[in-house]
Every structure is written in C-alpha cells, then in structure tokens.
Amino acid sequence: MKAFHATHALLPTGWARDVTITADASGSIIKAIPGTAAPGGAECLRGHVIPGVPNIHSHAFQRAMAGAAERRSPAGRDSFWTWRETMYRFVARLTPDDAEAVAAQLHAECLEHGFTHLAEFHYLHHQPDGTPYADRAEMSLRHLAAARQTGIGLTLLPSLYRHGGIFGAEPDPGQRPFLNDLDGFQAILDRSAAAMRDMPRTRLGIAPHSLRAVTPAMLAALADHPGPIHIHAAEQVREVEECLAATGARPVEWLLHNAPIDERWCLIHCTHLTEDESIGLARSGAVAGLCPTTEASLGDGIFDLPAYSAAGGHIAIGTDSHVGTAPREELRQLETSQRLRSLGRSVATSTTSPHPGRALLDAVLKGGARASGVPLGALAPGARCDLVELDNTHPTLTAHEGDALLDAWIFSGQSNPVRTTIAAAEVLVREGRHRDRDAIAARFRKAMSRLVA
C-alpha cells in the first residue's frame, strides 16, 4: 500500500483538511479520510490536492505541428480545411520513432500541467503511401511505448478512417496513412489489445473518425464495442452543410437517430448544435468532448455551453492539436469564449456553484472519467489514485484557498503552479518536473530537427 497526506484535498463532499489517501498495490484508492495526522512513510502534499484531470482528445503527432501551421496560405482565407492540407504534408515526414518521441513529449507536458490520463484518438496508422508497417499496429504500439515511459494513463482509441466525405467519397491522397477497411482495423485492435495486457493504466476503445470517414454500415459494425467510442461530430459549418446535403440531417442529429448513442460515446467538438440536438445529446448520456484551445486555433466556432448544460449534458476537455497542453488553458478558453459569446461573465456557474473554476473542474472530472472508460476524477474509494498538488505558495495562488484557489489557477497568470502529479499512486512529477523530462526532451529535439529540416 501507499499513503499520501494532503493538507487540503478536494473530496466528493467538498474541500477537506489533513486528508490521508491510501492506495492499494494496483494504484486504486482504498480510503480518503479527512482530519488525520500523516501516517509514517506517507508522501506529504502541502498544497491543494485535486483529482488528476482526464484529457479526452489527443492527436499526439500534432504536438510537433503546434505553432508551425500559422502562416497565411496563398489562398489568403485560412480555415480548418487549409490547416488540414498542411497536416497532410507533415505526416508524410513522420516516422514511428518520431511519433514515439513526440508522444512522450506530449505526455510529459500534460502530466506537468495536471492531466493524468490521455485518450489518444489515433488515426495515423501507416506509411506515407498508405502501405501498412510490417506490424500493422506499429504506430499504436509507439503510443503505448510512450505511455509506458512517461507513466500517464492512456485510453487508446484506434480510429477507423476509410473515406474522404459523407458517405463513401474517395479519400484525398494525403489521407492514405489513415486508411483501413474493417478487417485491417480489427487487426490493429487485436494487436493493440494484446500489447496492453500488462499495462494496467490503459484502456482500449475505438474511434470511427467521423461521418466523413466511415459509412453507416461501418458504424453499425462497430456499434457493439463495449466502449469507449469516440467520434468527431459537427466541428465545422461545412461539415454540417455536407451532411445535410447527403443525408437530410445534421451530423449529431443523424447520429442520435441512426447510432446507439449512449454513455459509451464521446462526441468530439459538437461546435454547431441546434437546441434539439443539445437536448438529445444530453439525454443520451454521451459526453461532449470539447477542445477549446484547438477549436479557437482552427476557427471552428464556440460551443453553446449554457444550452447544453441546461439540458443536463456531460462535458469533458481535450487538447486535440496541442496548441495548449494544460487543463487550465482549456478551462479558461472554454469559459472566456462563453463570455465573448454571451457578453457576460461567470457563465459556467450556478447559485449552488458560484465559482467557475470549481464548476468547470467538477464537470470535466465527471465527464472525463466517463469518456475515458476508467474510474478517474474523484478522491474516493475505487477511483484510480491520480492526484495533482497545486502549489499554494506559487504567486498565482498565494493567499487563496478552496474554490477561490481554483479560480486563481484557471483565470490568473501564465506560469504553471502544479507542484506534484501522481498517477495510479506513482509520483511522476515533482517540483513541476517530470521524472524523465530531460531524456524525453532530448529525443523530441532530435525528432523535431529532422521534421523541420
């Protein structure tokens, strides 16, 4: 067993002092008892301890593109669609060694900022010309190798990607590294599952990429998967228009009427929903996976959080293209975009939860656990022992406590006040530094030197 003692900890019942958290050999919490002295041998956490935050949407290779896809294109009117062409050119240079180095760098950064679990929506499967590697799951295995090195929890979501438009359009040549038929996809799933058997912090799910990339028959063939199931939906106006033209329905509307959407599912982005779609998605039990910094970067639009929350919808956050790699950045962007949209402040609050930091954190911990398919997001028996210690002596947090400290963490400053990050009762970050930061960064620099040459 391992024991941790937190001076302040956010329990399901609220903030508590002097909390002893005990974990079993598997890294799951056995008990979390407030008002106790630190037991002998306990790791003492003097700051404010919150549950580790799940990151429910990642394309890890895009960490190497962050900041390098901003230049105005010759067309002059840039969008998600012009960015996508840049991405296609980039993946043509990426090797398996590069992919592993970039994923490890991303994982370390996420851990240093308070993410303890990552859902990798993995669609870069093959060589640039579309030829599978000798091991068809080579690129999946590289994500697992990176997770093994860094210690982060991982929900691996191999993505089925076959077509280039709704439904069944021919793919773009730049999409060749992504493409599989159902049999090839199943081979990746089987190989990944075998490799994950000795990795208890991992979970296998699936990701039919989008209605642009799979047919209804393919979606039906995957629908019995026990979950998690993630899919991109309604990210772009053009996507909505193409779906309407092809099917007579909007993407989320089509999914709600034609797929068994339930609590296994996470619909990524959902930027453009009608009121009826918001209500229907909320009632389904699925999670809306929001990626606010990426959605802002790509010019996607602004998710209607008040309407969806009023319908009782579940949300989670992801970093997607990794222009941001911190929970606080995603939560800040989520709230402040709502303020711009509504011309008001403190949007993600209620009379019972007046602090937006706490309200948002509670929401994404609950929704993130559901979307990850892993018992996360609570300092309570049965949950994985994922802890994040916020340094209350940091200038950003000084003199704040409890929910006010969460507001300060999310809405104040740019530096990182995370002191310690623990996943499955293993300390991975101390004094703000991942235990293997230097070695991981050296491999990343080597990969980047080749990729940008």
CA proximity to 250, closest of 223, 284, 278, 227: 278
Active site residue 181: no
CA 214 – CA 223 distance, rounded (Å): 12
Q: Which burial class, exposed, middle or buried, applies to 94 when counting CB atoms under 10 A from its CB (0-12, 13-18, 19+)?
A: buried
Active site residue 320: yes
CA 278 – CA 271 distance, rounded (Å): 10
CA dihedral 59, 64, 70, 74 (to 10 degrees): -90
In degrees and rounded to multiples of 5, residue 130 shows phi and psi of: 95, -5
CB contact set of 257 (below 8 Å; sequence gap of 6+):
249
In degrees and rounded to multiples of 5, residue 288 shows phi and psi of: -90, 115
Q: In what order do the strands lie in the sheet with 287-290?
A: 229-233, 265-269, 287-290, 314-317
In degrees and rounded to multiples of 5, residue 134 shows phi and psi of: -55, -40
| Angle, in degrees to the nearest 10, between helices 275-284 and 251-258 | 40
Residue in this structure with the two tokens 């956490």, named with its chain if needed: 45
By DSSP bridging, strand 43-51 and strand 387-390 are antiparallel
Given the residues 98, 320, 386, 407, the one annotated as active site: 320
CA 342 – CA 39 distance, rounded (Å): 49
Given the residues 269, 314, 394, 434, the one annotated as active site: 269
CA dihedral over 31, 34, 39, 45, signed as positive or negative: positive
CA 100 – CA 284 distance, rounded (Å): 36
CB 368 within 8 A of CB 54: yes
CB contact set of 436 (below 8 Å; sequence gap of 6+):
108, 149, 150
Rounded to the nearest angstrom, the gap between the alpha carbon of residue 222 and the centroid of all alpha carbons in its chain is 22
Q: Active-site residues: which are they? A: 269, 320
